[in-house]
Amino acid sequence: MKQLAAIVAYYMFGYLIFWTFLHETDLFPKVWVQDNFGIAIYLWIFFFIIPLFLIALGTEFIKKRIADYKSLDQSSKWPLYILLFGVWDLMIGFAYLLFSYLEITHVTMIIANGLFITGTYLTFLSFAIAKKLELSKKN
């Protein structure tokens, strides 16, 4: 849990720096971000999502969850896939509604980031739960 908190803290710190540059300086002009939102998303992914992903992969929690997933029987993976499809459908649906009905601000982006971090955490947590259920089913 400490590692997850550290990852979220790193992410939010970097994100606040980005939004400070966006709103307080002309380094990332707001008009440019709004006009070129697709490119801004690629910058966001490159500077925030990929480093977060790489840091997360190095944590012991994620390594153990991936080992849980790899050791699952094929019959246990299909219910997990259905669960994960539902989780990510919900997360992407919430993000879509968020951006459809509210303007893009630092608050909506933080909420969207929270949704995706939660979805990622639930994904890896579901690997551990699926492994425990498989073990209890065998016993």
Task: Say what the pTM is.
Answer: 0.62
**Which residue from 69, 14, 76 is spatially nearest to 46, judged by alpha carbons?**
14
> Residues in the chain with pLDDT < 70?
1-8, 10-11, 14-33, 56-57, 106
Contacts of 95 (CB under 8 A, 6+ apart): 112, 115, 116
What pLDDT is attached to residue 21?
A: 66
SS3 72: coil
Q: Count Cβ atoms within 10 A of the Cβ of residue 52 and give its class: 0-12 exposed, 13-18 middle, 19 or more buried.
A: buried
Residues in the chain: 139
12-44 per-position pLDDT tens digit: 776 666 666 666 666 666 666 677 777 777 777
Residue with tokens 């849990």: 1
Q: Are 127 and 69 in contact (CB under 8 A)?
A: yes
* Contact present, 40 and 33 (Cβ < 8 Å): yes
pLDDT of residue 113: 77
**Mind spelling out the 3-state secondary structure of 84-117?**
HHHHHHHHHHHHHHHHHHCCCCHHHHHHHHHHHH
